[in-house]
A and B are shown apart, each in its own frame.
Chain A
Amino acid sequence: MAYYRSTILVSMDPICIEKGALEIKEQIIEELKLQRILDEVEILDIPRIGDPETEGPDILVYPEGSHYIALTPESVRPLVVEHFIKGRELQQYSARMRDLMDEEVREPKDKEVRVILENIGKIDPRNIEDYIAVDGYAALAKVLTEMTPDDVIQTVIDSKLRGRGGAGFPAGLKWKFANQAPGSPKYMVCNADEGDPGAFMNRKVLEGDPHSVIEGMAIGAYAVGSNQGYVYCRAEYPIAVSTLNIAIKQAKEYGLLGKNIMGTDFSFDLEVRMGAGAFVCGEETALIASIEGNRGEPRVRPPFPATKGLWGKPTNINNVETYANVPRIIHRGLDWYTSLGSEKSKGTKTFALAGDVAHTGLIEVPFGMTLREIIYDIGGGIKDGKAFKAVQTGGPMGGCLPTSNLDLAVDYETLGAAGSIMGSGGMVVMDENTCMVDIARFFMEFTQEESCGKCVPCRVGTRRILEILERICAGEGMPEDIPMLRSLCDEIKQDSLCGLGQGAPNPVVSTLNHFLDEYEAHIYEKRCPAKVCRNLISYHISEENCTGCTVCARNCPVNAITGERKQLHVIDQDACIRCGICFQVCNFDAVEVN
């Protein structure tokens, strides 16, 4: 193979060509010939580099990695002379190389195993060739040429891949049901309606590695016998939607989606459907209703979507992460996949680590890792050296687990048994300064707002729970509130139709189980142990530490602090709104919270 000292990549995006990319390329060749260095420089076409609208025609020059944009015929000569003869970057046309890494996904820690996140930040999601370079679409090729649909289903069943959306239903079985269901056409649906507060695993996959989801869906479609798929993504994820649309367009251009994929008689097409961001639309029957253009409300199951789904036809619906697992299982084999994870839950799981942990962001670990390892070894422990109090897994429908559960090996069964759920992978860590009643109130506020209103227990019950929790936080809790909460929780759980209602009481039940003392302190002693609930705390200035510097008095928004310079200051408790500003601004630790 000939060795070149430099390689020029010319963007051959249709818009760039329209703007004269072909002419620019010809000119570059002419100019290199003129300078007698054509034999030292390789010139290649690639589908796209930057944004063709604003940056085309553009080229990349390696090994320097210089990105030259908006090239004109006049720019070619100075560019060749400056860059290739004199070895200087031509500032006039150079753009900063697009930074592929981002802060949401850090470098993996030692204990992490990256499967779903492995390509994120390493490939350009807007360039299908980058995905193909990392063996992308090899699994689809293998499936289409070497495997029958039944083989594919059996492989996925044997891999023990479970739905990553939260419920953990075996994906292979779901495919089998859809495959066996009578009726035609059949549909593939991808649930990208990620709504848990603070969770963004699916968004990151769609933004960073969209083709892995497309490939997984195409493989699933082949197994199920479907020719049409939909990705249901929320409109709050505009970048995910646009990246996905670019990816779909490129896959179609390369013949990896559409009719007769890779020369076989299998055809599969894919479309993105946007949702308005209602949390309940992550529930599969509500999601289907929303795609159909109806109001996003869940319905009774059975019939399950596998037999009667989108437009009454057999429909297979999986989460983004579930689909993204499939190409890897097929390509790297069952032995590799089943070597990861615990006995009943195979593979890896992504989590969005959030809250009071030192390193927040996306992580990926094999099932079976303990919460302690995740929080301390990967998350770097609790921020500012504080003590751990609880971790909430699975989003607003999950439960809060206390210190005694830290050595729990994370998988679907153990989390369920401990009163929480796996969910789609939210993980909120809370330190000693968190009020658990307030946290329960926060999550109940979320679910109460997101309840679609179809079932009375969920619609009215969550409202009642929220009112009680607000009352307790306000210092007006009554002894009968605790049994009332418990019975409401039981009823909502039993009588609601979908996962939202059934899961809504989880944060309350789990905090009642593990942190009952905090509820009792609020109700009986009118005291918030974590000093969070405003109505239950008061600020005082200590005689010992106050220097009379007047900083607190000057910063108090309601002028509740009085005192002469160099004299002890006093807070008027009736005027104080407990905003905590004096506490924050005091340089002498003189303001105390009780």
Chain B
Amino acid sequence: MPTINSIEDLKKLREEAQKIKEMRDQTGKTQIVVGMGTIGIAAGARETLKSILTFIEENNLPDVILRQTGNLGLSGMDPVVKVTLPDKEEVVYCNVNTDIARKIMQEHVVDGNVLDEHKVKE
């Protein structure tokens, strides 16, 4: 347990505590979900996830939450990525390889334009 001996200690602790608190607050953030069932992983979902992670890190996007889920039930379409911008409809992309993932990140998540050509057909 850290003892607070000065204002600097308090400030340091506050920053750490704020970071933890921020994580719990998910409202108003972009959610990206990668389907990581057995098939998803076999189809390359790991690499997709990695490339999304790298993109977020490179572009310093603080308000993005990246999660994974199991099989989304869209067989033959893996890797599948779901993107939900704040207050927007969920968009599901299929066959997302690393290149498409970066494109989705840039054009959809950053610029806000849905990429219709990669969307799952209804």
**Contact yes or no, A3 B57, CB < 8 A:** yes
Q: Is there an interface contact between A141 and B7, defined as CB atoms closer than 8 Å?
A: yes
Contact A135 B14 (CB under 8 A): yes
A86 lies within 8 A of B20 (CB): no
CB-CB under 8 A for A138 and B10, given A40-B53, A63-B65: yes
Contact between chains at A262 and B7 (CB < 8 Å): yes
Interface CB pairs A-B, < 8 A, 8:
A5-B53, A5-B66, A5-B67, A7-B23, A40-B50, A62-B24, A65-B24, A132-B13
Contacts A5-B53, A135-B14, A262-B7 given; does A87 touch B67 at CB 8 Å:
yes
Q: Judge whether A429 is part of the interface by a CB distance below 8 angstroms.
A: no
Residues of B within 8 A of A (CB): 1-7, 9-10, 13-14, 16-18, 20-21, 23-24, 26, 34-38, 41, 49-50, 53, 56-57, 60-61, 65-70
Q: Which residues of chain A come closer than 8 Å to B50, judged between CB atoms?
A: 40
With the chains together, A249 CA to B38 CA distance in Å? 48
Identify B10's interface contact among A1, A132, A134, A253, CB under 8 A.
Answer: A132
Q: Most B CB atoms within 10 A — which of A5, A253, A256?
A: A5
In the assembled complex, the Cα of A254 lies from the Cα of B17 at a distance in Å of 14
* B7 engages A86 (CB within 8 Å): no
Q: Are B17 and A129 in contact (CB under 8 A)?
A: yes
B44–chain A nearest beta-carbon distance, Å: 15
Report Cα–Cα, A7/B57, bound state, in Å. Answer: 15
Please tell me which one of the listed residues B4, B20, B60 contacts residue A133 in the complex, with CB atoms under 8 A apart: B20
Q: In whole angstroms, what is the CA distance A211 to B36 when docked?
A: 43
Known: A86-B38, A255-B4. 12 other contacts (CB 8 A): A2-B57, A3-B61, A5-B49, A47-B1, A62-B24, A65-B26, A84-B68, A87-B67, A130-B21, A133-B21, A134-B21, A253-B3
The interface residues of chain B lying within 8 Å CB-to-CB of A129 are: 13, 16-17, 20
The answer to whether A87 and B16 touch (CB under 8 A), given A5-B53, A65-B24, A254-B2, is: no
- The answer on a CB contact under 8 Å between B69 and A63 is no
B35 to A: closest C-beta gap in Å: 8
A137, B10: Cβ atoms under 8 Å? yes
Asked whether any CB of chain B lies closer than 8 Å to the CB of A404, the reply is no
Tell which of A86, A132, A253 touches B37, judged by Cβ atoms closer than 8 Å: A86
Residue in A9, A134, A135, A138 whose CB lies within 8 Å of B20 = A9
Q: Is the CB of B4 within 8 A of A256?
A: yes
Asked whether A133 lies within 8 Å of B17 as measured between CB atoms, the reply is yes
* Given A9-B20, A46-B20, A86-B70, also A262-B5 (CB < 8 A): yes
Identify the closest chain A residue to B26 (Cβ).
A63
Q: In the complex the two chains form, is B20's CB within 8 Å of A254's CB?
A: no
In the assembled complex, the CB of A370 is this many whole angstroms from the nearest CB of chain B, namely 33
Q: Is A593 an interface residue (CB 8 A)?
A: no
**B-side contacts of A134, CB under 8 Å:** 21
The residue from A85, A254, A262 contacting B36, defined by CB atoms under 8 A apart = A85
| A517 in the interface (beta carbon within 8 A) | no
Instruction: Please tell me which one of the listed residues A3, A86, A87, A262 contacts residue B4 in the complex, with CB atoms under 8 A apart.
Output: A262
* Closest Cβ–Cβ distance, residue B20 to chain A (whole Å): 6
Known A-B contacts A130-B21, A135-B14, A254-B4; A3 and B53 likewise in contact (beta carbons under 8 Å): yes
Q: How far does the alpha carbon of A5 sit from the alpha carbon of B13 in the complex, in Å?
A: 23
Q: A40-B53, A262-B5 are in contact. Are A64 and B67 (CB under 8 A)?
A: yes
Q: Given the interface contacts A62-B24, A63-B65, A138-B10, does A133 sit within 8 Å of B18 by beta carbon?
A: yes
Measured between beta carbons, the chain A residues less than 8 angstroms from B24 are 62, 65
What count of chain A residues pass the 8 Å CB interface test? 36
A213 to B79, CA, bound (A): 52
Cβ-defined contact, B10 with A141, below 8 A: yes
Judge whether A197 is part of the interface by a CB distance below 8 angstroms. no
- Is B21 in contact with A254, judged by CB distance below 8 angstroms? no
Q: How many angstroms between the C-alpha atoms of A135 and B10 in the bound complex?
A: 9
A123 to B14, CA, bound (A): 14
* Smallest Cβ-Cβ distance to B67: which chain A residue: A63
Complex Cα distance, B32 from A5, in Å, reads: 10
A255 touches B5 (CB 8 A): yes
| Alpha-carbon gap, A141 to B12, bound state (A) | 13
Q: Which of A62, A132, A137 has the most CB of B within 10 A?
A: A132
Taking the complex as formed, is A263 at the interface, i.e. its CB lies under 8 A from any CB of chain B? yes
Interface residue A88 (Cβ < 8 Å from any Cβ of B): yes
Closest to A127 in B: B17
Interface residues of A in 514-558 (CB under 8 A from B): none
The verdict on A478 contacting chain B, using a C-beta distance below 8 Å, is no
**Are A254 and B5 neighbours in the complex by a CB distance under 8 Å?**
no
Once bound together, how far apart are the Cα atoms of A256 and B7, in whole Å? 11
Please give me the 8 A-B residue pairs with the lowest Cβ-Cβ distance, nearest first: A87-B68, A133-B17, A129-B17, A255-B3, A3-B57, A263-B5, A5-B66, A63-B65
- A86/B36 contact (C-beta < 8 A), A63-B23, A129-B20, A255-B5 known: yes
Residues of A within 8 A of B36 (CB): 85-87
For B13, what are the chain A residues with a Cβ–Cβ distance below 8 Å?
A: 129, 132, 254
Contact A254 B67 (CB under 8 A): no
Measured between beta carbons, the chain A residues less than 8 angstroms from B41 are 85
For the complex, give the distance between the alpha carbons of A86 and B42 in Å: 12
B10 contacts A3, C-beta separation under 8 Å? no
Name the distance in Å between A168's Cβ and chain B's nearest Cβ. 33
List, in ascending order, chain B residues with CB within 8 A of A65's CB. 24, 26
**B1, A253: Cβ atoms closer than 8 Å:** yes
A44-B65 contact, Cβ under 8 Å, with A5-B53, A255-B3, A255-B4: no
